[in-house]
Structure 1
Amino acid sequence: MRARRWADTLGDLWRDTGCRHGGEPVLELLDGTGVCFVRSHAVRVWGPLRPYYGPAALDFLLGSHQPAWLEAAAVPLFISDTRLQDRMTLPKASGRWALDSGGFTMIQRFGHWTGTAQGYVDRVRRYHDEIGHLAWCAPRDWMCEPEAIHGGQIGPLTFVGTGLSVEEHQRRTVASVLELRELAPELPWIPVVQGYTPAEYEHCVGLYDRAGIDLTREPLVALGSVCRRQGTAEAHRIIRALRAHGIHRLHGFGVKTTGLLRYGHLLSSADSLSWSDRARHEDHPICGEIHPRGGQRCNNCLPWALDWRNRLLTRLACRPRQTDLVEALECAS
């Protein structure tokens, strides 16, 4: 009853997204939070029963393995080229989304990029024209974690290693941005700053500058190779170092909850698949619904992903004092 009373009082504060879940229309609040719900005789709310007011400062993109969500989800999504490239028929996006180039998988599995830049451009043009609403696309960048360069293990993943240097990875990342923009200047390519230490990230900024790309004037600049250190003071220092160079419109790749709570206020946007990682370790559905075909996990479950997203944005909206305190302490250290 509490959920029904809340939904019934929304009035003109919501819009019909045009999507359906279980035959019911999916509605979205117009307060900037992205909270979605199904309004029916049995109300299903994806997010807090008591909405918070005022838009979140962070433009959050929900990571997904499921291209079909581009039609079904009424929130911004982050989808990888590896999930789209073999599809004969592409979905029609109902809202904004961004394209991951799949660089992590390429470097992890092969130690180099397969295919050609022209082939990637052709696919992205198709996504842009057929899916629509493409906000931006990542280049064929080269991550700079030690395991990516020397080989090794990160959790269950084995990296073959490139055998190259951090500087060569940076050079190839900048070269990819230049090549893709030359091949398809009409597509929304964004630069990625790569490195491992603050000084290496600053060196990468210099490479872009010498190549004629002023990162301070870019609509968005992505930050690579920090996902394993995102909850650390070092990741925070890297972001502050880039902001000190005048680069304020930053996107964080694969940022988990810990990192967002620590320095999300310093980012313009971020993406995350953390909701799927958590659900993968559960042996039962955690979304509160019965899965079709008897599925036992929620790692590909849209209601769970949206619920996780809404709770995350609520936490971010309620944490300004803590993040300010953390930053003040780190600046003093």
Structure 2
Amino acid sequence: MKLYLGTHQPSWLGRNLGIPLLVSHRRLIGRRTFPRATHPWALDSGGFTELSLHGHWQTDAATYARAVRRYATEIGNLDWAAPQDWMCEPHVRARTGLTVRAHQHHTVTNYRQLRDLAPELPIIPVLQGQTVVDYHRCADLYEHHGIDLAALPLVGVGSVCRRQHTREVEQIMRSLTARGYRLHGFGIKLTGLARYADTITSSDSLSWSFTGRYQPGCTPTHQSEANCLRFALNWHKRATQTLPPHHPETLASAA
């Protein structure tokens, strides 16, 4: 497993940092040029922000697939990319006006579209829901369409960020692992990893940046540490040192 450091700064991809990064599509879209990645990285689709702002995806699957293909070609070293999934948090559903089942249907449909449009790209499926039953229903929906999740290198688990430290999410992760899935938990912080790091392959978190907002800048040019590379790398080092020793490959990244 890998420990991805989430960042708002695409330029960090070109820095020889010695660690893999996770960057959002929303930070890359519209750029005319990209840095060449010196290490493996992953792409978040930015779906949480997209749905929260607009109540739907403004970008269609074909356009997103072209963007991911460009990132894979021009930046290089792309480990995987998230699809245009539909989060199921209550406030997101209030914005879309749709049910959990509808969000799951849109998520699975988009993954199938992207797989057909760009089978060569490492786009991963993502499970969405709220309860344990929801996530298994979403998994069954993928399986119904002939997608063998257990055969894939990684399966994302969304809509858990704000409750990642709870017993309910632990139950979700353990029950999905029992189906043979290699899981990436979106937004899993150290409090969640302390509960169930043994069950997942990877996770992502932007907690270092949120913490840095309230830290005075380390140089006169930094008003805070929210986008400070030194602060981020120190956080990453401390995070890896505090991960459970029996699961050294746990991965933390940003959404």
TM-score clears 0.5: yes
Cα RMSD of the aligned pairs, angstroms, is: 1.3
Asked whether the 8 Å contact 2:5–2:21 carries over to 1, the reply is yes
Q: Give, in angstroms, the shift of residue 246 of structure 1.
A: 2.0
| Deviation sequence 1:132-152 (CA, Å, 0-9, x none) | 0000011000001111112xx
Q: Which residue of 2 aligns with 1:238?
A: 172
Q: Give, in angstroms, the shift of residue 114 of structure 1.
A: 0.4
- Return the alpha-carbon distance in structure 2 between the equivalents of residues 122 and 147 of structure 1: 30
Please state if 1:314 is matched with 2:241.
yes
Q: Which residue of 2 aligns with 1:176?
A: 110
Asked whether the 8 Å contact 1:149–1:162 carries over to 2, the reply is yes
SS in 1 for 2:211: helix
Please state if 1:220 is matched with 2:149.
no
SS in 2 for 1:60: coil
1:52-91 matches, cutoff 5 A: 58-72=1-15, 73-91=17-35
SS in 1 for 2:135: helix
Please state if 1:274 is matched with 2:207.
yes
- Residue type matched to 2:128 in 1? Q
Runs of 4+ in 1 over 3 A off after TM superposition: 317-320
Q: Which residue of 2 aligns with 1:290?
A: 219
The structure whose residues are more often strand, as a share, is 1
Percentage of matched positions with identical amino acids: 50
Q: Give, in angstroms, the shift of residue 255 of structure 1.
A: 1.5
Superposition TM-score, scaled by structure 1 size: 0.72
- Residue type matched to 2:38 in 1? S
Uncovered stretches (5+) of structure 2, i.e. residues with no partner? 248-255
Uncovered stretches (5+) of structure 1, i.e. residues with no partner? 1-57, 151-160, 321-333
| Deviation sequence 1:170-208 (CA, Å, 0-9, x none) | 011000110001001110010000000000001001100
- Return the alpha-carbon distance in structure 2 between the equivalents of residues 295 and 304 of structure 1: 11
Q: Give, in angstroms, the shift of residue 268 of structure 1.
A: 0.6
Q: Which residue of 2 aligns with 1:255?
A: 188
Asked whether the 8 Å contact 1:59–1:270 carries over to 2, the reply is no
Asked whether the 8 Å contact 2:198–2:246 carries over to 1, the reply is no
- Return the alpha-carbon distance in structure 1 between the equivalents of residues 123 and 204 of structure 2: 17
Asked whether the 8 Å contact 2:86–2:103 carries over to 1, the reply is yes
Q: Give, in angstroms, the shift of residue 240 of structure 1.
A: 1.1
- Residue type matched to 2:235 in 1? W
- Residue type matched to 1:290 in 2? T
Asked whether the 8 Å contact 2:185–2:204 carries over to 1, the reply is yes
Q: Give, in angstroms, the shift of residue 244 of structure 1.
A: 2.0
Q: Which residue of 2 aligns with 1:265?
A: 198
Q: Which residue of 1 aligns with 2:230?
A: 303
- Residue type matched to 2:113 in 1? E
Superposition TM-score, scaled by structure 2 size: 0.93
- Residue type matched to 2:194 in 1? L
1:121-200 matches, cutoff 5 A: 121-150=65-94, 161-200=95-134
Q: Which residue of 1 aligns with 2:38?
A: 94
SS in 2 for 1:98: strand
- Return the alpha-carbon distance in structure 2 between the equivalents of residues 122 and 246 of structure 1: 31
- Residue type matched to 2:185 in 1? G
Q: Which residue of 2 aligns with 1:208?
A: 142
- Return the alpha-carbon distance in structure 1 between the equivalents of residues 197 and 6 of structure 2: 16
- Residue type matched to 1:194 in 2? Q
Asked whether the 8 Å contact 1:79–1:98 carries over to 2, the reply is yes
Asked whether the 8 Å contact 1:65–1:80 carries over to 2, the reply is yes
Q: Give, in angstroms, the shift of residue 319 of structure 1.
A: 7.7
Count of residues paired in the alignment: 246
- Return the alpha-carbon distance in structure 2 between the equivalents of residues 59 and 271 of structure 1: 11
**In terms of Rg, which structure is larger?**
1
- Return the alpha-carbon distance in structure 1 between the equivalents of residues 229 and 238 of structure 2: 14
Asked whether the 8 Å contact 1:261–1:319 carries over to 2, the reply is no
